[in-house]
Amino acid sequence: MGLFDRFKKGLSRTRDKLADGLRGVLSFGRKIDDALLDELADAMLVGDMGPRAVTALQGEIHDAWKTGRISEAQEILPFLKEHIANAWNAGDRQLRMAQSGPTVIFVVGVNGSGKTTSVAKLASYLVKQGKSVLLGACDTFRAAAIDQLGIWAERCGVELVKHQPGSDPAAVAFDACEAGVARGVDVILLDTAGRLHTQEHLMRELGKIQRVVTKHIPDAPHEVMLVLDATIGQNALQQAKVFSDVVEVTGLFLAKLDGSAKGGIVVGIRDQFDIPVKFVGLGETIDDIEPFDPGAFVEALFADL
């Protein structure tokens, strides 16, 4: 299955919801007018694209219509696809890698967003690219969390650095960095415990882990990857903001896109944050990871319309 087909499959629920609203609006032969543009905005809002992004897109289409660039409903879709896809730079979707020594990827997010699974997917993805990977079990809250990561490490054939449950996550991060440097691995992936913005001490702990990492490897962490659960829709925007306040989030991993009818939030995220979506999760196995591709995403989002 090609990238487009995998996106298409993963986005099927989102697309069904969007298509319901869009089909009538975009029907062949309809002339563009204000009423049509309002209907279009409603359909995009129902599709979770977020009020700000929808208003901006509606404005662009309105301008294109007023200046005579488009006049028929069927011209809207290509216009929309182009404008959404072009909002992403080509360069910023790559993982930032270290110039020398190990690349450290620090993975954060709220409880149950998909962090540990996404760490495993990233490990597997990197191993397939010929990289050596080491995992750090910085979620020391529950013994089960350490075991869960251990199982993934075994399955991916990568090394794991862990401490006892209840130990200091920053100490695990330190040891993982030390081991990574000593063993000359290419990438260190740090899994962390889920936390909510109301848990101030836990949010502060993230800052501490980040500082410990930087102390050991000066230009690290090279990526702070925020894992967002795509099924939560607009709340994802709030989470991106809160986590960005305590750590420098450099990339988003949008997990559970397959189970989501709210994949349209990707559009709203791009509009509100200068943080690129780097990967999406399209299922529960380690192979269900795709680098985010705006072109394939947009084509899949609006396929069959």
Ligand X SMILES: Nc1nc2c(ncn2[C@@H]2O[C@H](COP(=O)(O)OP(=O)(O)OP(=O)(O)O)[C@@H](O)[C@H]2O)c(=O)[nH]1
Cα(230)–Cα(140) distance, integer angstroms = 25
Stretch that binds ligand X, among 13-21, 54-62, 108-116, 166-174 (CB under 6 A): 108-116
Q: Residues in contact with ligand X, total (CB under 6 A)? A: 20
Binding mask 247-286 for ligand X (x = CB under 6 A): --------xx-xx---------------------xxxx--
Q: Which of residues 143-182 bind ligand X (CB under 6 A)?
A: 145
**What tokens does 93 get?**
């979707």
Nearest of 55, 107, 67 to residue 278 by alpha carbon: 107
Torsion of CA 23, 28, 30, 31, to 10 degrees: 120
Beta bridge partners of 136: 161, 190
Side-chain half-sphere exposure of 2, counting CA atoms within 13 A: 6
Among 14, 103, 116, 250, binds ligand X (CB under 6 A): 116
Q: Which is nearer to ligand X, 73 or 108 (CB)?
A: 108
Q: Which is nearer to ligand X, 39 or 229 (CB)?
A: 229
Contact between 136 and ligand X (CB under 6 A)?
no
Q: For residue 246, how many other CB atoms are within 10 A of its CB?
A: 19
258 touches which of Mg ion, ligand X, none (CB within 5 to 8 A by kind)?
ligand X
Q: For residue 147, how many other CB atoms are within 10 A of its CB?
A: 13
Q: Which is nearer to Mg ion, 97 or 144 (CB)?
A: 144
Cα(16)–Cα(305) distance, integer angstroms = 10
Contact between 71 and ligand X (CB under 6 A)?
no
Which residues make up the interface to ligand X (CB under 6 A)? 109, 111-117, 139, 145, 194, 255-256, 258-259, 281-284, 288
